[in-house]
């Protein structure tokens, strides 16, 4: 392969998919949601707790965080605050089993992209991801 051909093939390489991290203490969510995210064209990583996420090397490269509200240890809204204090502007989509519309509005007012009530549909998740990361997923 010529130098010119090599350069041309590198220029056409697709960008790496955006990393969407999932933080949820529910094992079924941690197992299924990353698979769906990959099908939608994202890279995905799951964490059992806010502390596990904060200790990972994914914090600085996560473009969007799908975050459970109520977890043992540090709850989701506290993690959102901690990321802000540390200077990260990570887009956050909260998920919760509590269908509390007042809490949903509060979280969005504090900067969350959305707050989805479990069980949420694939369409609801796609819409939230499109709002958080416009143009980032394969169609």
- On the question of pLDDT at 138 being above 60, the answer is no
Task: Name every residue whose Cβ is closer than 8 Å to that of residue 129 and which is 6 or more positions away in sequence.
Answer: 20, 40, 42, 64, 93, 136, 137
Residue 132, token pair as written in the block: 């958080």
Angle at 121 between CA 117 and CA 125, to 5 degrees: 80
Q: What is the pLDDT of residue 139?
A: 45
Residue 35, token pair as written in the block: 């698979």
Measured in degrees and rounded to the nearest 5, phi and psi for residue 44 equal -145, 145
The domain 18-132 having CATH identifier 3.40.50.2300: the answer here is yes
Digit-coded pLDDT (tens) for 80-110: 999 999 999 999 999 999 889 999 999 999 9
More confident residue, 44 or 13: 44
CA distances to 25, 73, 82, 123 from 34, rounded to whole Å, are: 14, 22, 23, 16
pTM of the full predicted structure?
0.88
Q: Give me the residue spans of the domains in the chain.
A: 18-132
Q: What is the pLDDT of residue 15?
A: 78
């Amino acid at each position: 392969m010529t130098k010119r051909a090599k350069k041309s093939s590198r220029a056409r390489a697709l960008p790496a998919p955006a990393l969407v991290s999932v933080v949820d203490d529910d094992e079924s969510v941690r197992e299924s949601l990353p698979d769906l995210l990959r099908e939608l064209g994202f890279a995905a990583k799951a964490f059992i707790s806010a502390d596990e996420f904060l200790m990972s090397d994914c914090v600085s490269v996560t473009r969007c965080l799908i975050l459970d509200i109520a977890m043992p240890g540090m709850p989701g809204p506290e993690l959102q605050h901690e990321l802000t204090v540390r200077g990260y502007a990570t887009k956050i989509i909260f998920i919760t089993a509590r269908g509390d519309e007042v809490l949903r509005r509060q979280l969005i007012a504090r900067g969350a992209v959305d707050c989805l009530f479990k069980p949420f549909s694939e369409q609801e998740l796609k819409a939230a991801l499109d709002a958080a990361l416009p143009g980032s997923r394969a169609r």
